[in-house]
Amino acid sequence: MSKFKLSILLTFCLLWAGQLIASGSQLDIKLGMSVAMNGPASKIGQQLAKDSQIYFNQLNKEGGIHGAQLELEVKDDGYEPNHTVNNTRYFIYDKKVHALFGYMGTPTT
């Protein structure tokens, strides 16, 4: 994912979260990320997950978004579309994430 696309996605997530919190809801913001942590594209997935977590940790250290902390859960999809679908269902139905974040690659996205 290009830096431009990542910044657009992050901006959207942060604007949405800011609106949610400004409306009086003081909850943590849960994000789900399905990326290749193993397999042929693992270096890209690992770097994307690591860099995202570093950024969110810094943001949380600075007070989060209007006081809400960002929680990023990462699941390995091995760059396999069927694993990505299962991870996405897990994020939405089991973890009840507020947004999906940082998916990588055409076949999995």
pLDDT tens digits, 6-38: 566 666 666 666 665 555 555 899 999 999 999
Number of other CB atoms surrounding residue 49 within 10 Å = 21
Number of other CB atoms surrounding residue 20 within 10 Å = 17
Kindly state the tokens that stand for 25.
């809801």
Phi, psi of 61 (to 5 degrees): -60, -30
- Residues 86, 32: Cα–Cα separation, whole Å: 12
Please work out, in degrees rounded to the nearest 5, the angle formed at the alpha carbon of residue 47 by the alpha carbons of 52 and 19: 15
Looking at residue 44, what is its pLDDT?
Answer: 95
pLDDT for residue 60 is more than 70: yes
| Beta-bridge partners for 100 | 32
Structural domains in the chain, CATH included, are: 3-100 (3.40.50.2300)
